[in-house]
Amino acid sequence: MTDTELIFNPFEPGFTDDPYPAYRDLRDADPVHESPFGLTVVSRYEDVGALLRAGLSVDSRLVAPGMYRDQFDRLDIAEPTLSLSMLDRDPPDHTRLRSLVTKVFTPRSVAALEPMITELVDDALDRIEESGRVDLVEALAFPLPFTVISRMLGVPTTDHIRIRALSGTIVRSLEPVADPQVLDEIVEAGIEMAGIIRGLIAWKRGNPGDDLLSALIAAEQDGDRLTEDELAAQILLLYVAGHETTVNLISNAVVALLRHPDQLALLRDRPDLADNAVEEFLRYDSPVQQTRRITTAPYTLGGREIPQGAFVVGCLASANRDERFWGEDADRLRIDRPNARSHVAFGAGPHHCLGASLARLEGRVAIERLARRFPGLAFDGEVTWNGRINLRGPALLPVAV
């Protein structure tokens, strides 16, 4: 690897605090970039959309030998459950697995959760008011989505401190891991988490209810629709995807608003903009920065041929700031941006985020009520970023109300 080839280096110190200047440079210099790290990085809006809609594979076992293949092989051998979720499966498995849970996440089913979400937010805001100064991640952004997904699954939230730590480690498998020690930690966390999930499934078999986990257990017992390992894999995915992403939506939105006081004032004056504001938060600082596809045949994108077996990263966060699509003010937060909903923060195509309606609802209720309730909301210290390339957000967000 030569220095001149290294035009995009997500391992560079400081990258995860603010990756946007590096994304801009990459979009300008080499929009379909064959990285010396052994992956192809796609960074412009049009190309990312085309990549995700092209029906390419998501099965990591098809990746050509190299850094990523090693990473996946280790995880797969240590804990097969980690690669059996719908996120890592192609049709017909993907179609079968996704159809088992789609019903619960339709906009209509999700809308019924609004009273519960509002109550959870208001309880959290009461506690924030009592303390006056809090870490907003700990006080609101984490517990809200975690409690909601736990209740939907019908599992107790008692283990949350351990589960939070484990999921925080596991999600690092969604980005390139250069440090072998980190890979060891991910493998250990994956094994422990899969054990916890299997324990919850066993518990639920004896305590069935009107919840998602009971419904999936019924599907598994029904016959050939879901194997036991697949059941554990879907629960693990829903559990982790259900909170590790929305926590960043809420925290990134608060950081963005505190850095753009005119937009915070606009949101307070115009609560009718709240839904659009959530789309703009998703665009402006995307909670999931990238996703990936694997080519099963040579594939041409942006005039460049990508070979078979390539690990292609679609950089959602970069696409969402591409001035070619969004215009000159792409780097500005504008909660009244007319086309904000065109972002690709939830991906696109067959794997488009299943939990999008739920995330939007949680984000809207949390941000709107927080902004309205605390006119004096302000930073109370520096934001500490979590150091992740993909599921990027604050680890600590000190605020005073």
> Of the two residues 86 and 264, which places its CB atom closer to ligand HEM in the complex?
86
Minimum separation from the CB atom of position 4 to ligand HEM (A): 31
Minimum separation from the CB atom of position 322 to ligand HEM (A): 16
Cβ atoms 13, 281 nearer than 8 A: no
The sign of the torsion formed by the CA atoms of 65, 68, 70, 76 equals: negative
Minimum separation from the CB atom of position 291 to ligand HEM (A): 4
Minimum separation from the CB atom of position 180 to ligand HEM (A): 26
Give the rounded distance of the alpha carbon of 263 from its chain centre: 24
> Of the two residues 110 and 134, which places its CB atom closer to ligand HEM in the complex?
110
Minimum separation from the CB atom of position 110 to ligand HEM (A): 9
Smallest Cα–Cα separation from 40: which of 48, 50, 32? 32
Minimum separation from the CB atom of position 324 to ligand HEM (A): 21
In 304-324, which positions are buried (b, 16+ CB within 10 angstroms) versus exposed (e)?
eebeebbbbbbbbbbbbbbee
Binding site residues, ligand HEM, CB under 6 A: 52, 86-87, 98, 149, 237-238, 241-242, 245-246, 249, 287-288, 291, 316, 345-347, 349, 351-355, 358-359
CB-based closest residue to ligand HEM: 355
> Of the two residues 134 and 345, which places its CB atom closer to ligand HEM in the complex?
345
Cβ atoms 377, 399 nearer than 8 A: yes
Q: How many CB atoms lie within 10 A of CB 109?
A: 14
> Of the two residues 335 and 401, which places its CB atom closer to ligand HEM in the complex?
335
Cβ atoms 393, 384 nearer than 8 A: no
> Of the two residues 349 and 398, which places its CB atom closer to ligand HEM in the complex?
349
Cis preceding-peptide flag for 271 (omega within 30 of 0): no
The amino acid that residue 349 corresponds to is G
Cα–Cα distance measured from residue 313 to residue 32, given in angstroms and rounded to the nearest whole number: 10
> Of the two residues 200 and 401, which places its CB atom closer to ligand HEM in the complex?
200
Which residue(s) pair with 292 in the sheet? 313
Smallest Cα–Cα separation from 176: which of 327, 15, 349? 15
Cα–Cα distance measured from residue 392 to residue 117, given in angstroms and rounded to the nearest whole number: 24
Q: Using N-to-C axis directions, what is the helix angle for 180-206 and 212-221, rounded to 10°?
A: 80
> Of the two residues 299 and 346, which places its CB atom closer to ligand HEM in the complex?
346
